[in-house]
Amino acid sequence: MSARPPISAPGGNGDRARGAAAGSHLVVVGGGVAGLGTALAAARAGHRVTILERDATPMPASADLAFEWDRRGAPQVRHSHAFLARLRNLLVERAPDVYDALLDAGATELRFTDDLPPTLTDREPRPGDERLCAIACRRTTFEWVLRRAVLAIAGVEFRDGVAVDGLIAERGRSNAIVNVVGVHGRAVSGGDSATAAATETGRPFEMAADLVVDATGPRTASPGWLTDIGVDEPAELLVPSEIIYLSRFYRLRDGFEAPEASGPIGGDLGYLKYAVFVGDSRTFSITFAIDTDDRAMRALTEVEGFEAAAAQLVAAQPWLDGRSEPITGVHPMAGLRNRRRYFVRDGEPIVTGFVAVGDASVCTNPLYGRGCSLALVHAFGLADLLDRTPRALALDFAEFTEREIDPWFRAAVQQDREARELLDPAPSGPGAAPSGSGAAPSGSGPAAAGDVDPKQLLRDVFREGLLPAVRTSPIVYRAFLRWFNLESTPDALMTDGEVIAAVMQSYAERGARPPEPALGPGRAEFLAAL
């Protein structure tokens, strides 16, 4: 990238009449899902966009080759990704060509109502079933397709091998909101763009922008960038997830096909959560989530331990019967979290000319598979506000984040808290954590009403009312999937009268049900086989 002359500092006041009108220049820092999504939505609305990505990731000829990208800036690309119906439906509605390109690149549709559980006797289609469809592909395939679509838009430039180190601000009258007018950084290695390739490593640059978009992901350094220009750090809510992710990718051997799709795709054994994810181009992956403090489970970080573990798990076994071979080692990832940053204080933006999208703004525990969906919702939401003045944009985008993204952040924090309480139940609490089976033992209802902890009762209703009803009630099955896929509100399962009635009936019948099939061995047996 060629060095640009330093940007002068005109006297703005942070609330200029000028909005980021069509034709204005957005500098998007970070070329992951949120950055690419922002570029797609903003460029199609007529804005000029420059994406600055630190990883040197030359654009390969095929999505399959993108799996070889060195994405150390987004190491989660080496982990299984679910692309939920919310994201799929957003693409169908706002960028149908990108959706088609995904399918052309080998992604497949996961239509949840095509594969109803065998236990569901009412198999009639319902209105809205067509929206219950997720996308199955590798994360690198998703990025490759998105990036190709973005590169095809006039006025978009993607510069890789370029790291942003900070913001450039203009200062107005005293007490005015600081307004960001550009970024500075350096080339870290030659990427594929003509300018990046021509740049010697370490060479500094500055770039002017009407709006700087921080899309640098969960490890964003932007709070430091803000303090460097005299802005207070955004307030932050951080809740660590206390799990470690372990993933390995495989490919089906020539002449073999994937197993029948009728069985479970994963399970929660209490001591271990696991799932098998269908990928594209005949790939699939297996992911484990283990407790950060569970040292005995660290054996799973090694290939031998991982394979010995997978061989014991009901949903993984059919994939590992000789029909596939591994194409990666075992990738661990720790430091997972729920984190939310707030860019408005006392009703005023802390800064203008700068916003954060995706994980840089709101990050949720990957277990729930929401990050990419929320990142794209965020990106399109931002693009829809770009005609605002800088102050109005900051305020309206904060309001959008609060309305559309924050409820899922709070839901993730709550789900994490409940999961932890299951692992460490109160000593006197009835109904210990489920272990050794994907489901709680049937008929083990709560103790006499007088002893019942309301939270424990809720957990019991979840395990012995809701989860079985998902497999037997067409209403609960669809409501659960809408909730899981972010197609309803986080509290939808708790507020829909029909769902509540079906769940409570299922709970009342818990004693009459045969035990749920185990989705893996008990912990002691599991560890002994490693």
Cα pseudo-dihedral 497, 502, 507, 509, rounded to 10 = 140
Q: Which helix (H) or strand (E) holds 360?
A: none
Smaller CB distance to ligand FAD: residue 14 or 182? 182
Residues forming a β-bridge with 331: 247
- The answer to the question of residue 33 lying near ligand FAD (CB under 6 A) is yes
Smaller CB distance to ligand FAD: residue 349 or 366? 366
CA distance linking residue 530 with residue 521, whole number of Å = 12
- The answer to the question of residue 267 lying near ligand FAD (CB under 6 A) is no
CA distance linking residue 445 with residue 339, whole number of Å = 35
Least CB distance from residue 446 to ligand FAD, whole Å?
33
b (16+ CB within 10 A) / e for 268-281: bbbbbbbbbbbbbb
- The answer to the question of residue 486 lying near ligand FAD (CB under 6 A) is no
Q: Which stretch binds ligand FAD (CB under 6 A): 15-23, 79-87, 149-157, 297-305?
A: 79-87
Residue 437 DSSP symbol: S
Q: How many CB atoms lie within 10 A of CB 358?
A: 32
The letter for the amino acid at 74 is A
Contact 285, 248 (CB under 8 A): yes
Residue 495 DSSP symbol: H
Establish how many alpha carbons lie within 13 A of residue 47's alpha carbon, considering only the half-sphere containing its beta carbon: 28
Smaller CB distance to ligand FAD: residue 353 or 369? 369
Smaller CB distance to ligand FAD: residue 112 or 507? 112
Question: For ligand FAD, which residue of 196, 215, 275, 467 counts as binding (CB under 6 A)?
Answer: 215
Least CB distance from residue 417 to ligand FAD, whole Å?
20
- The answer to the question of residue 245 lying near ligand FAD (CB under 6 A) is yes
Phi–psi pair at 418, nearest 5 degrees = -65, -40
- The answer to the question of residue 35 lying near ligand FAD (CB under 6 A) is yes
- The answer to the question of residue 381 lying near ligand FAD (CB under 6 A) is no
At 525 the three-state DSSP class reads helix
Smaller CB distance to ligand FAD: residue 245 or 354? 245
CA distance linking residue 213 with residue 215, whole number of Å = 6
Per-residue binder mask for ligand FAD (CB under 6 A), 325-364, x = binder? --------x--x---------------------xxx----
How many residues make contact with ligand FAD (CB under 6 A)? 37
Least CB distance from residue 305 to ligand FAD, whole Å?
19
Question: For ligand FAD, which residue of 29, 49, 344, 386 counts as binding (CB under 6 A)?
Answer: 29
Contact 515, 442 (CB under 8 A): yes
Give the pairing of strands 362-363 and 337-342.
antiparallel
Question: For ligand FAD, which residue of 26, 28, 82, 300 counts as binding (CB under 6 A)?
Answer: 82
Q: How many CB atoms lie within 10 A of CB 397?
A: 24
Q: Which stretch binds ligand FAD (CB under 6 A): 29-37, 236-244, 302-310, 460-468?
A: 29-37
Give the pairing of strands 324-326 and 25-29.
unpaired
- The answer to the question of residue 234 lying near ligand FAD (CB under 6 A) is no
Question: For ligand FAD, which residue of 39, 164, 290, 355 counts as binding (CB under 6 A)?
Answer: 164
Smaller CB distance to ligand FAD: residue 83 or 507? 83
- The answer to the question of residue 28 lying near ligand FAD (CB under 6 A) is no
Contact 520, 438 (CB under 8 A): yes
Smaller CB distance to ligand FAD: residue 339 or 391? 339
Residues forming a β-bridge with 156: 49
Smaller CB distance to ligand FAD: residue 397 or 507? 397
CA distance linking residue 346 with residue 362, whole number of Å = 20
b (16+ CB within 10 A) / e for 102-112: beebbbeebeb
Scan residues 414-453 and list those touching ligand FAD (CB under 6 A). Answer: none
Contact 408, 359 (CB under 8 A): no
Q: List the one residue out of 358, 336, 410, 480 whose CA is nearest residue 31.
A: 358
Smaller CB distance to ligand FAD: residue 15 or 294? 294
- The answer to the question of residue 408 lying near ligand FAD (CB under 6 A) is no
Question: For ligand FAD, which residue of 140, 241, 373, 488 counts as binding (CB under 6 A)?
Answer: 373
- The answer to the question of residue 163 lying near ligand FAD (CB under 6 A) is yes
Scan residues 37-76 and list those touching ligand FAD (CB under 6 A). Answer: 52-55, 73-74, 76
Per-residue binder mask for ligand FAD (CB under 6 A), 174-213, x = binder? ----------------------------------------
The letter for the amino acid at 322 is G
CA 13-16-19 angle, to 5 degrees, is 140
Smaller CB distance to ligand FAD: residue 171 or 184? 184
Residue 83 DSSP symbol: B
Q: Which stretch binds ligand FAD (CB under 6 A): 27-35, 190-198, 266-274, 400-408?
A: 27-35
Smaller CB distance to ligand FAD: residue 54 or 94? 54
Smaller CB distance to ligand FAD: residue 52 or 467? 52
- The answer to the question of residue 31 lying near ligand FAD (CB under 6 A) is yes
Q: Which residues contact 394 (CB under 8 A, 6 or more apart)?
A: 343, 344, 349, 351, 352, 355
Smaller CB distance to ligand FAD: residue 82 or 290? 82
The letter for the amino acid at 477 is Y
In the complex, the residues that contact ligand FAD under the rule CB under 6 A are 29-35, 52-55, 73-74, 76, 79-82, 163-164, 215-218, 245, 333, 336, 358-360, 366, 369-373, 375
